[in-house]
Amino acid sequence: MHRFSDAEVDAALSKLPEWSRVGECIQRTYAFEDFVQSMTFVNGIAQHAEAVQHHPDFLVRWSKVTLSLSTHDVGGISEKDALFAAHADAAAAAFSTR
């Protein structure tokens, strides 16, 4: 696993349209119908994080959940983050997001 170059980050983000780079992380905010949906999403993402041993930072604000991803082992953004982001997008699609 290697740290992505700026060009690799840009290429990964081109496939993840709602995600953006924030320093050495990629980040997206999801909007849900209510707090229960937000927490159901968070719990599902937490289970996936444990399974793949890659843990995002979460910020929960009632019906909104922000995920921030960075690969600490490489000191920045890597393929692990892009793959995790794609999984999170697929998980969120199961909800009626706003």
C-alpha closest to that of 59 among 77, 73, 84, 41: 41
As a whole number, mean pLDDT of residues 35-45 equals 97
Q: Domains in the chain and their CATH numbers?
A: 6-93 (3.30.1360.20)
Contact 53, 43 (CB under 8 A): no
**E strand or H helix at 13:** helix 6-14
Mind listing the pLDDT tens digit for each residue in 50-70? 999 999 999 999 999 999 999
C-alpha closest to that of 82 among 31, 30, 21: 21
Instruction: Examine the pLDDT at 98 and tell me if it is beyond 90.
Output: no
DSSP letter assigned to residue 80: H
CA distance 65 to 38: 6
